[in-house]
Amino acid sequence: MGKHAPKPPIRPVQGETILFFIAAIGVFALNMMLWGYDTPPLIDWPNHMARHVLQCGAAGAEHVARYYAFALDIVPNLTSDLIHTWPAACADLEVTQKVLIQVGSFGLFAATAVLHRTIWGAWSVWPLITVMVMHNMTWAFGFENFVLAAPAAILVLALWFAMAARGAVVRLAVIWPCAVLVYVMHLYAFGFIMLIIGLLELHDVTRAPSTRAAILRRASMVMAVALIPAVHLVGALRASTELEAGGIDYGTPIQFLTAFVAPFASFGLFASTVDTIVAGLLGLAVTAAIILWVRRAGLRMSLDPRVRFALPALALITLLVPYYFSGIAYTNMRFPVLLAPVVLAAIRVDFTPRTLWVFAGAMLVLLAGKMLWLTDKWALHDAQVAELRAAAAVLSPQDRLLVTRHEQAQTIRLHSHSAAYILRDRGPYWTGVFTGGNAIAPLPAYAPRDKTHLFPIPWQVLMPIHQDHEVFEADSYLADWRDFYTHTLVLFAPDEAARAQAAGLHNLGAPLARGSFFEILEFHPVAR
């Protein structure tokens, strides 16, 4: 057996394996409460759906195809696009969307349970604690490809532990095609896997006295696994017009804290970033309280010795990931979302027959409370999207829509990309469909206007007093906005409509339709 061979399997308490699978069915059933909602409040999700509509030739594809072309090039961000190459996935996009939402949430729970099983050699109820992180910020942001790649990445790590008794050459040879697949699924999932496996291999080779040559050989084997993806990534960054090779920003302390609590909170479901951080800290505190209860109950808790170097080292590396990298924001919340379930999976708790049932029941109760809260928010969002799509009947394929906002609020965050529904339904041009790093590109006539905002710009910027604003610089997608755009969708909090109007909103254009959180205005003609 190799130096990395696990200890003999720990025998679970009688009935623990059965109880885990019963509780896992309960987790699945509770998570299925999300199935009944057609337009989830996962911020980026409608934008990705517009791409899949075009890819599958579904209803509305003729509208999206007026401005964009689908091209399945190999880029490290393809999970959902690969899934939609299957005819069954395109048969009913709404059903596929619901399945993928389950994969992104319950799949993270299931993959963590498998990882725990391969590390410790036995099923346990302990991975039920993953209900605290299965609905996280990357999921709530609608980072579709990453959310779907995260369970796969954890399963690759589980494969590494399952092969721990094999030699390094065999182990890494088997890992190599799996790692390349994860790279194609999502870059950050691949980066996480390569870092943690590299750290585990380094720990393995240095546990006993080793020569420098032996350490270099092992490092070379790990780098060989990453070589092809690394070469491809350099070319992909150079080829993309929207990805900014080398663009790095570490963000503000608030953005850092947001990433820190990302595994434990859902952004977008709270009124502000501060509320998000508070909710995330609360989720972290509940998780810590569960661990503290386990310790105070006198239960033996163990951390697998093979990860005692890798996990702290990876946590340090996680702190160094920037907030903004190559044109993509919130990149620093991906690693925490993967690190948290790996840490939980590496822990083993030896339950007593009584605490076994108490723990499993408590996890299901916690999840049930979370699901009741989530479904209330999802029902509201479903109703709001239906209201917006109905009001958008005033628009046509000949129109060109600019999305703006009044102030910043929860509703605006959640609907930042809801104009994608209008594009699919009614066909007006909208500049916000994700292109860089995705399997879609603007047609040549619209390429100069290709611009994706994290959130819409304030409508006040369009007023004459702000015409020197940086968004109107030469070659900007807004440089000739008066001549190009015909309408604006103005988003605001439900209680902000009167304030927006009092601030002069209707000086911008004539209101054609309005709802509880928006107005659609037709721009006033420009005097010549």
pLDDT at 212 over 90: no
Whose tokens are 């499993």? That residue is 360
* Assigned domain for 206 exists: yes
Same domain, 181 and 263: yes
Question: Rounded distance, CA 254 to CA 273, Å?
Answer: 8
Same domain, 309 and 182: yes
Same domain, 219 and 86: yes
Residue 132 structure tokens = 């605290």
Same domain, 365 and 448: no
Give residue-wise pLDDT tens across range 132-148. 999 999 999 999 999 99
* Assigned domain for 501 exists: yes
* HEC sequence for 366-424: HHHHHHHHHHHHHHHHHHHHHHHHHHHHHCCCCCEEEEEECCCCHHHHHCCCCHHHHHH
User: Average of pLDDT values for 24-49?
Assistant: 96
Which of 326, 379, 486 has its CA nearest to residue 41?
A: 379
Tell which wins on pLDDT, 335 or 267: 335
pLDDT of residue 432: 87
Question: Rounded distance, CA 50 to CA 432, Å?
Answer: 11
pLDDT of residue 149: 98
Tell which wins on pLDDT, 247 or 32: 32
pLDDT of residue 215: 85
pLDDT band of residue 189 (cuts 50, 70, 90) is very high
Please report the DSSP string for 142-178 in residue order. Answer: T-HHHHHHHHHHHHHHHHHHHTTTS-HHHHHHHHHHH
pLDDT of residue 272: 59
Task: Look at the chain and report how many structural domains it folds into.
Answer: 2
pLDDT of residue 411: 86
Give residue-wise pLDDT tens across range 336-347. 999 999 999 999
pLDDT at 205 over 80: yes
Same domain, 177 and 324: yes
pLDDT band of residue 124 (cuts 50, 70, 90) is very high
Give residue-wise pLDDT tens across range 490-521. 999 988 999 999 999 999 999 999 999 999 99
pLDDT of residue 1: 39
Q: Percent of the chain, pLDDT > 70?
A: 93
Beta-ladder partners of 520 = 489, 513
User: Average of pLDDT values for 211-229?
Assistant: 88
| Contact (Cβ atoms closer than 8 angstroms) between residue 190 and residue 78 | no
Domain that holds residue 468: 395-523
User: Average of pLDDT values for 443-461?
Assistant: 87
* Assigned domain for 4 exists: no
Q: Which of 267-276, 278-287, 414-423, 461-470 has the lowest mean pLDDT?
A: 267-276
What's 347's DSSP letter? E
Same domain, 431 and 473: yes
pLDDT at 526 over 70: no
Same domain, 318 and 462: no
User: Average of pLDDT values for 291-311?
Assistant: 94
* Assigned domain for 386 exists: no
Final residue of a structural domain among 330, 349, 376: 376
Give residue-wise pLDDT tens across range 111-123. 999 999 999 999 9
pLDDT at 330 over 90: no
Q: Percent of the chain, pLDDT > 90?
A: 68
* Assigned domain for 96 exists: yes
Same domain, 221 and 365: yes
pLDDT at 93 over 70: yes
* Assigned domain for 505 exists: yes
Which pTM does this prediction carry? 0.92
User: Average of pLDDT values for 325-349?
Assistant: 91
pLDDT at 170 over 90: yes
pLDDT of residue 2: 47
Same domain, 283 and 428: no
pLDDT at 528 over 60: no
Same domain, 369 and 508: no
pLDDT at 173 over 50: yes
Q: Which of 249-253, 303-307, 316-320, 361-365 has the lowest mean pLDDT?
A: 249-253
Cα separations (Å) of 327 from 208, 344, 477?
Answer: 43, 32, 16
pLDDT of residue 10: 63
The kind and range of the H/E element at 329 are strand 328-329
pLDDT of residue 117: 97
Question: Rounded distance, CA 238 to CA 355, Å?
Answer: 55
**Mean pLDDT score of the chain, rounded to an integer?**
90
Residue type, 414: L
Final residue of a structural domain among 314, 343, 376: 376
pLDDT at 435 over 60: yes
Same domain, 273 and 412: no
Residues 6+ apart with CB under 8 A from 487: 395, 399, 400, 401, 402, 428, 509, 512, 520, 521, 522, 523
pLDDT at 271 over 60: no
| Greatest mean pLDDT among 225-229, 245-249, 331-335, 362-366 | 362-366
DSSP three-state, residue 487: strand
Same domain, 368 and 406: no
Q: What is the crossing angle of helices 353-391 and 419-426, to 10°?
A: 50
* Assigned domain for 93 exists: yes
Tell which wins on pLDDT, 309 or 411: 309
* Assigned domain for 48 exists: no
